[in-house]
Amino acid sequence: MDELNDLLGGDFNETQGKYLTFCVSDEEYGMEIAYVTEIIGIQPITDVPDIPSYIKGLINLRGKITPVMDVRLRFNKMPQEYDDRTCIIVVNHLNTSIGLIVDTIRDVLVIDDSQIGDPAAAAAQQNRYIKSIARTDHGNKLLINLEKVLSDH
């Protein structure tokens, strides 16, 4: 939580308009910081049989068993070995914790609603996990629809 507070530059409860940005492959994505409970380094993952390939397994997070999903695989990108920059973003959705494995964390950005637009119709049809696109001083960020990432089959 300290790392997250450092990224936020203050109070974790002040989340309005703040997005955690991260990389998967060569793309930069963002998610509303309100979903994020913590960011941890990659750690041992216990395999579970007969689950989708993008669900890598389970981790023990301070005594709590937490499933982890490889976002790279979820987004149909080529698999990549985990390294010292690989992170797990632990999110809380519908009172359930899940870890999202990403290539690297970028930053926390304050994004005004005026900077957010709907994705192009073609892009939206091809990638159901993208909710919108944010145009920032740091380039375009693809804002994910976390609910679909976590629940859509």
The domain that holds 39 is classified in CATH as: 2.40.50.180
Torsion of CA 115, 119, 120, 121, to 10 degrees: -140
| Model confidence pLDDT, tens digit, residues 110-120 | 988 888 887 66
> Which residues have CB under 8 Å from 92's CB, separation 6+?
35, 37
Q: Residue 119 and residue 109: Cα distance in Å, rounded?
A: 19
Name residues of the chain where pLDDT drops below 70.
1-15, 119-126, 152-153
Q: What is the pLDDT of residue 7?
A: 53
Q: Residue 109 and residue 143: Cα distance in Å, rounded?
A: 12
Phi, psi of 95 (to 5 degrees): 60, 25
Q: Fill in the DSSP letter of residue 77.
A: P
Print the domain residue range for 111: 2-150
Number of domains in the chain: 1
